[in-house]
Amino acid sequence: MTHSFERAFVAQLEKRLVEAAPLIQVLVGPRQVGKTTGVRQLLARLPGSHHYANADDQLVTDRSWLLAQWQQALLLGEGALLVIDEVQKIPNWSDAIKSLWDKQAHRLRVVLLGSSSLQIQVGLTESLAGRFELTRIYHWTFSELSEAFGYDLERYLMYGGYPGAVTFEADHNRWYAYLKDAIIEAVIGKDILQNRKVANPALFRQAFEILCRYPAQEISYTKLLGQLQDKGNTDLVKYYLELYTGAFLIYSLEKYSAKAWLTRTSSPKILPACPALCTMSAGAHALADPEQRGRVFELAVGAELLQLPGELSYWREKNAEVDFVYRYQGNLYALEVKSGRKKSTKGLDTFMKHFPDATPVIVTPDNFPQLSRTPMSFLAGLSGR
């Protein structure tokens, strides 16, 4: 990974940590996207003392391990910075942090990193309410990979998402093995299966491969279940999807409706978290078919929109559909992705009749770099707001 390139969260974290009496800073995001690298970049230039510890490196981590790290940081003096990486590995970590934080209010500045959203979220809401700020870190965007490694769109659609895999791109088999072993298997084996009940791990792994075959496609739970070699029910598929979402691998979008209760019954639109997750299972010629390439481009657009604050969904009524509906601070955007594959724009017109206040947006390979670089000003510029 290039150490000269710095992701945006680093400067934001620095700004928060230099404030008087900052809250606990919690960073969550996928494995291998530079959380630790970013924090190390920050530690290298922050004034004052710090202590960094990684719970993933330990054979035994419990509350006493956490207490030992805390005390080590305290010995560095008032205002020292304590960083605990992979904090979710420690049983009842949030209760332990809460009691230490409450007893020694603001003697330390604290940063916690984690790669399992499900475990982190539970700990935060149950124990640490009002004591933390959460920063979500996502896969690398086209704009970041373009700046750091000179990616063009074609390369992004084939390999985009994980900077650590860049060195293996010349050898597809090696690139695939790195993604599968160092990332996917680490997430499934360590972050999910060790912490959540999954009755049939082989079926769970199979579900991942099936879901990645449907980038940016709306698919019913029943159809997904039909592809799994099991007699389960649709609740099983929903549970699997929830676990993969919690591990930052696959997201599912609900159908947009002004009436909230209608969204819950809709089929999900499947969004693997970055293009590499689709192309790795499709092989070296993943983008040769224009239909598939169009899907991967649509996924690339969706994956970047997912990183924005606000709500992302899709819309369909009979045969009319809109690829993405993005809502933020009272503004509504209807986004249609044009990538060369044949698609009707009827959906956009129909949507605008239903929701005349929405801003229609056409995303193409030509304007996608701009959307990736400054998404909010890109959208604001089109809405005239």
Kindly give the parts of the chain with pLDDT less than 50.
1-2
- Do 130 and 146 fall into the same domain? no
For β-strands 250-253 and 269-272, DSSP reports them as antiparallel
CATH number at residue 106: 3.40.50.300
- Do 102 and 176 fall into the same domain? no
pTM of the model: 0.90
CB 108 within 8 A of CB 78: no
Please give the Cα distance from 92 to 123 (Å, whole number): 8
- Work out the number of other CB atoms within 10 angstroms of the CB of residue 130: 5
Q: Is 256 helix (H, G, I), strand (E, B) or coil?
A: coil
Residue that terminates a domain, selected from 83, 109, 136: 136
Look up tokens 């082989």; give the residue. Answer: 202
CB burial of residue 43 (10 Å; 0-12, 13-18, 19+)? middle
The domain containing residue 311 runs over which residues? 142-383
- Do 117 and 173 fall into the same domain? no
- Do 111 and 162 fall into the same domain? no
- Do 155 and 122 fall into the same domain? no
- Do 93 and 171 fall into the same domain? no
Residue that terminates a domain, selected from 91, 109, 136: 136
pLDDT at 2 (0 to 100): 46
Residue 328 placed within a domain: yes
pLDDT at 108 (0 to 100): 93
Q: Give the total number of structural domains in the chain.
A: 2
DSSP 181: I
Residue 2 placed within a domain: no
Residue 314 placed within a domain: yes
Q: What pLDDT, in 10s, does the model give residues 253-266? A: 999 987 765 556 67
Q: What pLDDT, in 10s, does the model give residues 265-317? A: 678 999 999 999 999 978 767 888 888 899 999 999 999 999 999 999 999 98
CB 87 within 8 A of CB 116: no
Look up tokens 């791109």; give the residue. Answer: 169
Q: What pLDDT, in 10s, does the model give residues 82-92? A: 999 989 888 88
- Do 45 and 115 fall into the same domain? yes
Please give the Cα distance from 153 to 156 (Å, whole number): 5
Residue 96 placed within a domain: yes
CB 33 within 8 A of CB 162: yes
Residue that terminates a domain, selected from 78, 112, 136: 136
- Do 173 and 223 fall into the same domain? yes
pLDDT at 27 (0 to 100): 94
CB burial of residue 3 (10 Å; 0-12, 13-18, 19+)? exposed
